[in-house]
A = this chain, B = another copy of it.
Amino acid sequence: MDNLEHFRQLVKELKAYQYVMNVIGWDSETEAPRGAFGPRADVMGVIGGEIFRRSTSQEYQDVVNALYADIDGLDANTAKEIRRAKKALDKIIKIPEAEFIAYQRLLTLAQPAWEDAKAKNDFPGFQPFLADLVAANRKFVGYYGLPGEPYDIMLDEFEEGMTMADYDKFFAVLKRDLVPFVKKVLAAKRDRKDPFAEAKFPVEKQLKFSQYLLDVMKFDRSRGLLKKSVHPFTWNTSPADVRLTTRYSEDALWGSVFSTIHELGHATYEQQIDPVWDPTLLNSGTTMGIHESQSRMYENIFGRSRPFWEKHLPELKKLFPTQLKGATVDDVVYAANKVEASMIRTEADELTYPLHIMLRYDIERMLFSGKLAVADLPATWNRLMKDYLGITPKNDTEGVLQDVHWSSGLFGYFPTYALGTAYAAQIHRAMKKELDVDAILRSGDMTPINAWLKEKIHKFGGSKSPEQIMDDVTGEPFNPNYYVDYLKAKYTALYLS
């Protein structure tokens, strides 16, 4: 067996263990009863330990290092894969096994602790878990011994190559060009009837509309499914098994509609990856930023557009004839793009959304530089909400406890949402040169758009970097001005004209 074959065999086994962790995670987040989590934490410890041993075994180290030593002899894709494996290996071998296993247990227990704390507005109940999560991640980053600040290393895990310096530059553009515009739009607030604001929308009917959206977006149900969970997410083990979740509340029709469309963006990406990448480490979306570009494009650029609702409002009205009696496409476009300073990131409009991200970026940065203690998080959160959006959460449930990410150990993830949204604007601009996007949305058949995205982005899986994708798809490097231009054009038309 040559080194590459040997590597493939070890990766196949390692992936089997990650697969079972994924299935257990899916169960935990979508249905496991509360009693399951205690015994489950022990299991995660055992399996996590096995993953650690396999990821750090001498056998695996030898084969990765041998391939890396001869990396110039490999084809470009394999070289990329080996570089990725080597980078991960050089990190994980620095972590003591016992600490790695303890961290797996911590993750299993932190998830229900966060859910409870959020349900009960009990930040102190979650605080020790969060403190442990931050401490463990800071410690791990310390072990790596890599150059750069701890938070730079965290950011790199979700968007390879992006540092605080890069994000600072990006957010500076938004602060300079977008924030004053947001203020202007907020001030121009219109008094317009919103038939969606007061009505109740039975959850069973929202479930039906979510299923309808799966059909609209051409989601392949033989290779995936839709379910509900506290926090919407997309889950995948291969293009053959891609699942998404949505949350439902009788009071918030748009919450389920746009969560479903958002997750369908992620899910379509994963379903359209070429199965040729299955046995490799490049078998998933390339970075979180590119992933979010797909979900945010689906959600905002397509899902909140007029042509989309010209086609689909009649279907929505069939399900909610009383609630939506007399509602027009104009009403929907207004409601789906209503700009207001609000508490919840996932329900925020497209225009104030990046402000929610900047707040989280500021907080994570302070947490990882040691300038902010976990105990002081709620006060800092509330202060920043006031600074960015001019409002104050009435409790931690709608404040610092609102997001799932930190309870899953995901620090450094949030900025990719804003970055991905900006990627999306630039990709959409390129798409419009080749496709009549509005006509396609109006037709109700996403096939041509999905085919374009597959050909340009999806099928490559993790084999292209964001830089390559932006260059290949748009003919130029990433440029945040397109994002600012897109938002200004859209919201000037809606609010300031």
A residues with CB within 8 A of B: 12-13, 15-17, 19-20, 23-24, 26-27, 31-36, 38-40, 42-43, 45-47, 50, 204, 220-225, 227, 237-241, 243, 278
Contact = CB atoms under 8 A, between A and B. Distances in A.
Contacts of A222: 33-35
Given A39-B278, A223-B33, A46 B240 contact: no
Contacts of A43: 15-16, 19-20
A476 to B, nearest CB: 37
Contacts of A16: 42-43, 45-47
B225 A39 contact: no
Contacts of A46: 12-13, 16-17
B35 A223 contact: yes
Return the 10 tightest CB-CB contacts between A and B, nearest first.
A35-B240, A35-B223, A16-B46, A36-B241, A20-B20, A16-B43, A19-B43, A34-B222, A39-B238, A23-B24
Given A12-B46, A16-B42, A27 B35 contact: no
A82 B42 CA distance: 23
Contacts of A26: 27
A214 B350 CA distance: 44
Contacts of A17: 46-47
Contact of A221 (B33, B42, B227, B240): B33
Given A33-B225, A43-B16, A225-B31, A38 B204 contact: no
A404 B31 CA distance: 24
A55 to B, nearest CB: 15
A237 B42 contact: no
Contacts of A20: 20, 23-24, 43, 47
A24 B354 CA distance: 38
A241 B278 contact: no
16 contacts: A16-B42, A16-B46, A19-B43, A20-B23, A23-B24, A27-B27, A33-B225, A35-B223, A35-B224, A35-B239, A35-B240, A36-B223, A36-B241, A39-B238, A39-B241, A40-B241
Contact of A42 (B12, B33, B38, B225): B12
Contacts of A24: 20, 23
